[in-house]
Chain A
Amino acid sequence: MTNLEHIGAYVLMLFQVFRKPQKWDVFWTSLFKELDDLGLKSLGITAFIAFFVGGVVAIQTALNVDSPFIPKYLIGFATKRSMILEFAPTFVSVILAGKVGSYITSSIGTMRVTEQIDALEIMGINSLNYLVLPKVIAVLLFYPILVILAMFLGILGGWVAGILTDLFFTEDYIMGIQLEFNPYFIQYAIIKTVVFAFVIVTVSAYHGHKVSGGALEVGRASTKAVVWTSVVIILLNYFLTQMLLG
Chain B
Amino acid sequence: MSTPQTRLEAHGIVVRRGGRTILDGVSLVLEGGQFTGLIGPNGSGKSTLMAVLAGLLVPDAGEVVLDGVPLARIDRRTLARRRAYLPQSPRAEWPLPVERMVALGLTPHLPAFGGLPAALAARVDAAIAQFDLGAHRYQPATTLSGGELARAMLARALVGEPELLLADEPLAGLDPRHALDGIGRLSALAGRGTLVLASLHELTLAARHATRLAVLREGRLVACGPTAEALTAGMLHEVFEVNACVTGAGTRTASVDFT
Question: Do chains A and B stick together as partners?
Answer: no
B interface list, Cβ under 8 A from A = none
A interface list, Cβ under 8 A from B = none
